[in-house]
Structures are given as C-alpha cells and as structure tokens.
Structure 1
Amino acid sequence: MSDDVNVVIKTTIRTMLPFIQLYGFYVMTGTEGAGGGFQGGVILAASFILYAITFGAEKGREKAPESWNTAFKSFGLYIYAGVGILTILYSLGSAEFLNYSATFLSLFVPHTVARGILIADVIEVGIGITVAASFTSLFFDLVWKGDEDGRD
C-alpha cells in the first residue's frame, strides 16, 4: 500500500475514533432502562482494536496496556457488584440484589422510575467497561500468541 493511502487511512481512523467511542458510551447509557452495556462495551473494544490494526499492535498496546485492561475489568465488576450490594443494604428490608425501586438513591432522586434508570445506567457502564477491557485484552492475547508461533 502506498504511503498516501496509509496517511488517508490513519487520518480517517484518528478522526473517527472519538466518535466511535462516544457512540459506544451512548449505547451503554442511552436507553431508558437496562440493556446496552455489552453492546456498548463491544463498540468501545472495537475502537481500540481498530486503532491497533491501523497503527500496529505495539502502538495499540501502548494505548491500552494490559495493566489498564486488568484494572478496568476489575473496576467494572466492582461497579456492578457494588451497586448490587448497595441495593441490598438500602432496599428497605426487601434485600433484593439490584432492586431498582428501593435504593440509597431515594434520598436524592424521589421518583422510582428515575432511580431505576440511573441505577441501570451505572450498572450498564460497569458491564461495558468490563466487556471493553476483556475484548481488548483478548485481541492482544491472540495477536501476541500468533507472534510467538511465528504466524500472523
């Protein structure tokens, strides 16, 4: 491929990546209820993978190091489990995991539906962060495995 084509591709990818990531976050939180965390996480992971394919695996690994992927996988899981535990603690005696209607947010958000949407968005962000980090880590594991075997 000629250098002119590479410049066009790299410039296009560099320009589109923030929009792809913004769309991934929108898919995670844009619905009025539960759903979208997995799909948004996959879109975010696809943006990191697209960067690594375009600019090279080494440069992609610099942008998304394995230590960050591990931290984000754990952080997303902690968000999910933490909201579930808080809903158990503050569920007014019902002790239901991820009960959207009776939570600690009742002090700040009086309407039950608004609380449910807010909690669902927080949960979906936790799921999305975990999925994005997992898929990005999986991609780089497969790339490095191919390099070790002498295959592309």
Structure 2
Amino acid sequence: MSDISNVASINWNGGNSIRVYASNGTTVTEKCWDGGPWYVGAFRATGQTVGAASWVDGGGQVHIRAYVSNQNKITEYCWDKNEWNIGAFSSEGSASSATAWTDNNGVHLRVYVSKSSGQIQEQCWDGNGPWYAGAYAPG
C-alpha cells in the first residue's frame, strides 16, 4: 500500500488483533496484525474512501464491517465467519466513518455518511434491522 489517501482501523482481543483498511484513491485493501508480522488480508474493493467497525459476539466470533465509497456510493462489506460479503447497507455519499457496540439488546451500528450536499447523515442499525436515519445533526 503506497500513496494512501484514506485509512480506517479496527481492533479486538485487547488490541492484539488489528486491521487497517486503506485506499490509494482507487482500491481499498486490508493489512492485518495478530501479534506476529503484518500480513495482507483478504479484503479488496474498488473505492476511494473507507470507514470500518467491528465487534465480537458472545460466541467469540469477530464481525467486521467496511463501508467503501466508490463513485459517490457507499457499499457495506461484511466479514462474519470466513469470507467477505456485500451487506444490506447502501447510501449515496463520498465518505463514511462507523462504530459498533453490543449490549443486552444486541449489536448496534452507526455509520456517518458525508453526503454530496455537504451534510453528514447518521444511519443506524440495531440488531434486527432495518437501517434507519438517526438523530445526529452536526453543529
């Protein structure tokens, strides 16, 4: 990865597992660290920007979400066991950031999308769908 124009990172296992998603302006790739040397991960997508979030479920399974913007459309990519798949989230937008957490009600995701209008829009998911617009308003 050289000439990086955008980067997002996640971690779990007390910081002993780290994933870095980086775009060179046309392609988003993944680098991984699990306590040994860094290695190239399985994730690769066409895109200019990336946001990412992760959580570990009660069974110890790691879940990763990467939100990649390509040509002003953000697509969700999901890692839930052993492969990447396209998720249900999609939005117009040029960039995003994301966060995730779990509680007694399940998993919660928040994706903050930069719209072409210049506004930031919060998109929310609370464990059983559907996605909905959140209350966040900048300023």
TM-score under structure 2 length normalisation = 0.24
Structure with the higher fraction of residues in helix conformation: 1
TM-score under structure 1 length normalisation = 0.22
User: Highest CA radius of gyration, 1 or 2?
Assistant: 1
Q: Which has the higher contact order (CA 8 A, sep 6+)?
A: 1
